[in-house]
Amino acid sequence: MVPLRLAIVLLLQGLQLCRGQNLLNQGGNYGDLLEFSTTQKPGDALELSSLSSEGFTRLSHPYFPKHSARIKKSHFCDETVNAYTGYLDIGTRHTFFYFFESRNDPDTDDVMLWTNGGPGGSSSTGLFMELGPCNIASPNKTVFNPYSWNSNANIFFIDQPVGVGFSYADFGETVGTTEESAKDIAAFVAIFFETFTKFKGRGFHLSGESYAGRYLPLYASEIYDQNTKLAAANLTTVNLKSVLIGNGLVDWTQQMKSYFQVQCTGAVVAPLQPIFTCVRMQKAVPRCEKWTKAACVDHFDHMDCEAAMSFCTEELLIPYIEKGYNTYDMTKMCCYEEPEWIDQYLNQPSVRSTLGVDSSFGNFSGAAIDLQMAFIRNGDMFHQNQPYIAELLERGLKVLIYAGSYDFICNWIGVERWTVNMEWSGQKEFAALPLREWKLDGKTVGQTRSAKGLSFATVFGGGHLLPRDRPAESLAMVNRWLAGEDL
């Protein structure tokens, strides 16, 4: 039997197959690196325009004495807007971020944060390969992306948790659960809105894909609950408006059930497996459902759940991998070339100097295996995250769940299943609605349903990396969402 941990590494970090071996990024103490140009005192307000491109400005917050941030202008990726980079510093841990102002109106447009998944995947993938202001074109070149999501939003890309991308810890320590990383993200967001006055009260949206289906429900919940404490202290709260999850791993147990359907029934593409394999899969599905329900849902037991998932992985996932198909797009074989280009591009000294990357940082890698293994060892990916989404909906937040139709690993059938089955006050109304077409320029580009703040949407012809595969459709979807319009 293929070990569960190896299978999940191969599947959830599918881009890694194109990068070769990836090691945990190592860094060093930032104190001997780029000089801080200024230090902002707690309670002081700043304008982004006042920041230097030569050195960092350090930001602090009275409610988070153990957290600070440093930020600089970077003149990077998109010359049509102001760009900034920096770190969130939590003692010996340092989380790297990019920030791009909106191409439309940075003084009025909402703010969005994007994270890729993994766990252990750098958001450089989203930045350079999907929805960022520039696309990687070669190991030495980027090109303007007219479909960037900063078309109508100010947007962060963040390498999180610590140990991912340019983020590092002085002594190699890592974060091992989503609950831990949620506290850091919530503190970072609070520091930003407390410091930069022009963004106070601006709508804020959390977005991401893949393992962000685990991250974002917890991050949004932490930010929401944190607001109560900030308000009590007469500090700036975060105007959290919505969560957007693309091809997300929200419920691994329900996602497992869909792998037989997408490989054997023609639900998305023509059957990919021989009859013998499909018959075996069909017999395995009820066993997988029964075992995971008992060990992972009704009463969570880490060892039993891991054993159940190992069985499901072997029977339902490994046959797909052995066929050599791309886990992010059922119509393709194997790999993408862009991830290797991104690694090479971000390892150039001139690029790292522009970004302000700490000089003692080692080689950049877009995938951190050690961090991913820490999350797996802690059973982080086995939890159901619908209860967090349900609670957010009950409190008036909007949630968009979208999926490219050709994705395998977090395919739309499994994604739709949990949205329909999720228990909340709007469940009956949402589940009763049929999927309807949504259009762009008069052409049907997907299906959708919406009720009481929850929306589900598919985009035809897209895979796991939807903004890469269908850039115009994904931008139209996001712009309509930000504008409060129906798809």
Q: Are 69 and 214 members of one domain?
A: yes
Q: Are 473 and 444 in contact (CB under 8 A)?
A: no
- Report the percent of the chain where pLDDT is more than 70: 91
Backbone angles phi, psi at 423, to 5 degrees: -85, 120
Q: Quick check: is 359 in a domain?
A: no
Q: Are 273 and 230 members of one domain?
A: no
The pTM score is 0.93
Q: 178-188 pLDDT, tens per residue?
A: 999 999 999 99
Q: Are 59 and 136 members of one domain?
A: yes
| Count of structural domains, the chain | 2
Q: Are 305 and 419 members of one domain?
A: no
Helical residues (DSSP H) of 385-434, grouped into ranges: 386-394, 412-421, 427-432
Residue 369 binned pLDDT confidence (cut-offs 50, 70, 90): confident
Q: Quick check: is 373 in a domain?
A: no
Res. 279: pLDDT tops 90: yes
Active site (annotated) includes residue 78: no
What is the residue range of 398's domain? Answer: 30-248+382-482
Active site (annotated) includes residue 441: no
Confidence at residue 39, expressed as pLDDT on a 0 to 100 scale: 60
Out of 407, 455, 469, 474, pick the active-site residue. 407
Out of 210, 242, 258, 405, pick the active-site residue. 210
Backbone angles phi, psi at 57, to 5 degrees: -110, 130
Q: Quick check: is 347 in a domain?
A: no
Q: Are 132 and 187 members of one domain?
A: yes
Q: Are 460 and 439 in contact (CB under 8 A)?
A: no
- Min mean pLDDT across 4-13, 88-97, 217-226, 430-439 is at 4-13
Active site (annotated) includes residue 329: no
Q: Quick check: is 351 in a domain?
A: no
Q: Domain holding 301: CATH number? A: 1.10.287.410
Q: Are 161 and 181 in contact (CB under 8 A)?
A: yes
Q: Are 448 and 394 members of one domain?
A: yes
Write down how long the chain is: 487
Confidence at residue 28, expressed as pLDDT on a 0 to 100 scale: 42
Q: Are 34 and 47 members of one domain?
A: yes
Out of 109, 258, 464, 469, pick the active-site residue. 464
- Min mean pLDDT across 21-25, 97-101, 138-142, 423-427 is at 21-25
Q: Are 219 and 116 members of one domain?
A: yes
